[in-house]
Amino acid sequence: MKLKRYEGNPILKPKPENEWESETVFNPAVVYDKGLFHLLYRAMGRDGVSRIGYAVSVDGFKFFRFDKPIFTPKQIQEPRGCEDPRVVKIEDTFYMTYTAYSERGVRIGLATTDNFIQWKRYDIEWAERNDKDAVLFPEKIDGKYVLLHRPMHKEPMGIWISYSDNLADWYGQQEVMGPGEEGGWDGWKIGAGAQPIKTEHGWLLIYHGVDTEEVYRLGVAMLSLENPSKLLYRYPEPILEPEMDYELRGDVPRVVFTCGACEVRDKYYIYYGGADSVICVATVGKEEMLEPYRMRTSLYHG
Ligand code: BMA
């Protein structure tokens, strides 16, 4: 099973006339709500600081883009930038997790909105700094907020889970899945990519895998609906890998990196950054993605 790239890729490129997004735009989050695809993306200008841009679409391919960033770094918390947003809607609120970058390292940032323009930040003192690739599940499970993330001090670098009742205090941290086979496409490190998508078989998780040559590919796994710390299947092959010119060449070559996916009319839309420089989309039919037999025969007992 492979994702099918949109032939009009990249769908967004840097915009030279807007200084804040004049160099690179990449690693987009998406949430589909009331007939619209809302895209939040990481953008950089010549100052090398990441800000979050916003674009909106009715068909998922042609986006109307705002000329100003909708989320900019705070001096004290994240002077070096807000990176890699992930967005979910829980009840009536949109929650954005992102990587807050400062001279102290990277930590998880969190902000909420109901219109994508006005944001409320949560000043969370996370127990551990140096943590990234954070994404919330799009609903509370067993009454709790559930977060996938990657604490940077844990070796090997894998996907971890934590729980919270109030978004401030987190507990129950444990590893969900680690890197794959040594020397393989996801053998060095992995991180959560898009927000988990609910299916009848479990939570579908599209993640990124990195090999020792630092090539970033996308893979897919299934987590238990009732207990999302439990890995059910792990598809052995990558579902997208750098092949096109816009994925092979750019600020960081040989990278495909997703921060968001959504299901619309029996199709999954996966948004991703190409070579840390442009924004692309790929799709796959729901049936094909969830083909239970193929998912099961490739069961990974990890
Ligand atoms: C990761 C993150 C991503 C980036 C990727 C490849 O560590 O910084 O934002 O896309 O590296 O450079």
- Top mutation candidate among 247, 276, 279 for ligand 1, by most atoms within 8 Å of CB: 276
Q: How confident is the model at residue 298 (pLDDT cuts 50, 70, 90)?
A: low
At 65, list the tokens. Answer: 């883009």
What is the per-residue pLDDT across 168-203, written as a single tens digit (0 to 9) for each? 888 999 999 999 999 999 999 999 999 999 999 999
The sign of the dihedral angle between the CA atoms of 287, 296, 204, 246 is negative
Class of CATH domain 4-301:
mainly beta
- pLDDT, average across residues 268-274: 98
Report whether pLDDT(127) > 70.
no
User: Half-sphere exposure of 154 toward its Cβ, with a 13 Å CA cutoff?
Assistant: 22
Report whether pLDDT(302) > 50.
no
The pTM of this model reads 0.95
What is the per-residue pLDDT across 86-114, written as a single tens digit (0 to 9) for each? 999 999 999 999 999 988 889 999 999 99
For the CA atoms of the chain, what is the radius of gyration? 18
- Top mutation candidate among 248, 257, 279 for ligand 1, by most atoms within 8 Å of CB: 257
Minimum CA distance residue for ligand 1 atom 1 = 257
Q: Cα of 91 to ligand 1 centre, how many Å?
A: 30
Domain boundaries, the chain: 4-301
Q: Cα of 297 to ligand 1 centre, how many Å?
A: 31
At 280, list the tokens. Answer: 């692309």
Cβ atoms of residues 76 and 87 within 8 Å: no
> Within 6 Å (CB) of ligand 1, which residues are found?
27, 83-84, 216, 252, 255, 257, 273, 276
- Please state, in angstroms and rounded to a whole number, the distance separating the CA atoms of residues 147 and 25: 25
Sheet harboring 145-151: ordered strands across? 131-136, 145-151, 159-164, 170-177
Enter the DSSP assignment of 277.
Answer: T
Residue 26 Cα: closest atom of ligand 1: 10
